[in-house]
């Protein structure tokens, strides 16, 4: 990207992060952790291979990403975030928060990946750290299941199922995302097919579920 050539921290940040796809690549590395090239390509439906290659190289020279070349017999490259790359998480999180209402605009042919769901949810939960800790949320969508664990240490997510979740949410990704993002009330989400099992009181601390 051509530099804006402005002595302003916002412009300088966008000189590095403002290229198309760049912040989505960071999203993937923040969610998935160290990734192979194909893992990234898979989490970024629509990206052209040459662009992914270009962006990774730019991110490397900007110091946000480093590549670990695993020697044979593994013979693969792993792309990692540096500390500076992880420091950009608040930017991605702010975008996730602001973008939540736009989920409603989704068209049926939008691509979706199951790991995007717990990420967006955790962004919201992270900024509404409640009193009643710890809590385990189980999500089920047609794409797969994931778990959000909220402890005093923070919010973590993973794919799969939990043994004894405090609450289970089942429904379409759109509805779960908008509900956990505060964009739908429990009543509205229920009307749109969200099924909730367990103790709804767990959600109270997050200012969710208000009628």
| Residue 174 near which of a copy of itself, DNA, none (CB within 5-8 Å, type-dependent) | a copy of itself
- Per rule CB under 7 A, is residue 71 in the interface with DNA? no
- Per rule CB under 7 A, is residue 65 in the interface with DNA? no
> Of these, 52, 78, 91, 196, which contacts a copy of itself (CB under 8 A)?
91
φ and ψ of 157, to 5 deg: -135, 155
Contact region with DNA (CB under 7 A), list: 42-50, 104-112, 145-153, 179-187: 42-50
Q: How far apart are CB 32 and a copy of itself at their closest, in Å?
A: 13
> Of these, 14, 15, 21, 114, which contacts DNA (CB under 7 A)?
21
Identify the H or E element spanning 28. helix 22-32
- Per rule CB under 7 A, is residue 6 in the interface with DNA? no
Q: How far apart are CB 3 and DNA at their closest, in Å?
A: 9
Identify the H or E element spanning 76. strand 76-81
CB atoms within 10 A of CB 176: 26
Burial 51-85 (b: 16+ CB within 10 A, else e): bbeebbebbeeeebbeeeeeeeeeeeebbebeeeb
Integer Cα distance of 94 and 198 in angstroms? 30
In three-state secondary structure terms, 9 is helix
> 134: cis peptide before it, omega within 30°?
yes
- Per rule CB under 8 A, is residue 103 in the interface with a copy of itself? yes
CB 89 within 8 A of CB 30: yes
- Per rule CB under 8 A, is residue 61 in the interface with a copy of itself? no
- Per rule CB under 7 A, is residue 1 in the interface with DNA? yes
Q: Using CB under 7 A as the criterion, which residues of the chain lie in contact with DNA when the complex forms? A: 1-2, 19-21, 36-39, 46-51, 53-54, 56, 67, 76-78
Q: Using CB under 8 A as the criterion, which residues of the chain lie in contact with a copy of itself when the complex forms? A: 1, 4-18, 20, 23-24, 27, 45-46, 87-88, 90-100, 102-103, 105-107, 109-113, 116, 120, 173-174, 177, 181
């Amino acid at each position: 990207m051509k530099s804006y050539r402005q002595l302003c921290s916002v412009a300088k940040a966008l000189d590095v992060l403002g290229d198309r796809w760049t912040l989505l690549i960071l999203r993937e590395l923040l969610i998935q952790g160290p990734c192979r090239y194909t893992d990234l390509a898979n989490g970024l439906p629509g990206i052209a291979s040459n662009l992914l290659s270009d962006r990774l190289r730019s991110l490397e020279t900007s110091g946000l990403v480093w590549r670990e070349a695993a020697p044979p017999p593994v013979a693969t490259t792993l792309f990692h975030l540096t500390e500076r790359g992880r420091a950009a998480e608040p930017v991605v999180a702010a975008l996730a928060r602001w973008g939540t209402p736009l989920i409603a605009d989704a068209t049926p042919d939008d691509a979706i990946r199951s790991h995007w769901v717990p990420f967006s949810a955790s962004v919201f939960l992270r900024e509404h750290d409640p009193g009643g800790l710890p809590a385990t949320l189980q999500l089920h969508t047609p794409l797969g299941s994931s778990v959000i664990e909220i402890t005093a240490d923070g919010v973590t997510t993973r794919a799969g199922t939990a043994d004894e979740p405090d609450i289970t949410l089942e429904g379409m990704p759109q509805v779960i995302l908008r509900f956990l993002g505060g964009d739908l009330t429990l009543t509205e989400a229920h009307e749109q097919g969200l099924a909730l099992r367990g103790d709804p009181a767990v959600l109270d601390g997050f200012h969710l579920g208000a009628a």
